[in-house]
Structure 1
């Protein structure tokens, strides 16, 4: 190869690499554009506000416990506990029964881990526990039953309760199906690791 052909060959290689880099950038931009909002390189992060909105749509709800107590929960408020990798939900509770003249009212606060349920595409509460159940004007003699209602609410009503449901398109990145894996509670939201099914 003569000296005059070396600069031309070098120039061709530079143009080839520049073209390849441009194609790579275009592909990356296209892939990012195809990602649903919230996806990052390794998973999906939804904010406390998104979880709050999803949960609020499912409230209020009612359930009868122990055959005598009608419980209504409303106004759920979600907070995040990254130190324990749990979320906390506080709701207004109203307990009505023929055993007392007026409804009992007060806050119910539960904390819970999270797990993913593939058939329903949802993030669900995992073994919630009652942190607080303070009802006002509880008549004497039924305190133990009221306390057991809190445990029943956590164990029967809220255990495995869906707090966020993915839309089918949210489980695809650039047309490739992904499945939620490890769930991590962060200060600003909940991160769900993506894995191939």
Structure 2
């Protein structure tokens, strides 16, 4: 009986190895650390942006937000508004999140489609806060696309030699992982 069990186990083991060998080979990947992402994001600030044509907004001091559950990256920004008497001497925090995409023309990983996530302004009266919250999605859109990383020739050399190009971008607790996929044939 033990001999039969051993024969079955050996047969299953060899069949399992054959099936595993038929799976796709592991794809190359490149990790972009949270520190690199923060450095790229910080380089864009401080910024002055008009808000509703009446107010000037100074946005600075970003804090990186990694949201793996949503596969998004974001920033918590310090916001000061000039031209609003109720806001003099007060600072707020605005959280914005981005989807990610790879732009092949300049080899960049970019944050795209900024989305207003949260707005906190301690000490601001409720009515003014609500009015400002209505204007914030437009402010988030003004941030536009954000270049987060430029892939170097060195980072792309081996995957390109293997016939791969950047594909899926995955946000993790440590940063962003770029998974490479087989190159697609150019149209035409």
**Do they superpose with TM above 0.5?**
yes
Change (3 A) 1:64 1:103: farther
Q: Which residue of 2 aligns with 1:133?
A: 119
The CA deviation at 1:43 is 1.6
Q: What is the aligned residue count?
A: 157
Q: Which segment is superposed worse, 76-85 or 137-146?
A: 137-146
CA distance in 1, matches of 2:121, 2:38: 24
- What pairs up with 1:5-20 in 2 under 5 angstroms? none
The CA deviation at 1:88 is 2.5
The CA deviation at 1:167 is 3.1
Q: Does 1:165 align with 2:138?
A: no
Which of 33, 53, 57 is matched with 1:47 structurally? 33
The CA deviation at 1:127 is 2.5
**Unpaired segments ≥5 residues, structure 1:** 1-39
Deviations 1:71-97 (A, max 9, x none): 111111112121221122111111111
Which of 103, 114, 117 is matched with 1:117 structurally? 103
CA contact (8 A) 1:78 1:90 kept: yes
Q: Which residue of 2 aligns with 1:35?
A: none
Q: Does 1:147 align with 2:127?
A: no
Change (3 A) 1:164 1:175: closer
CA distance in 2, matches of 1:174, 1:185: 20
RMSD: 2.6
The CA deviation at 1:137 is 4.6
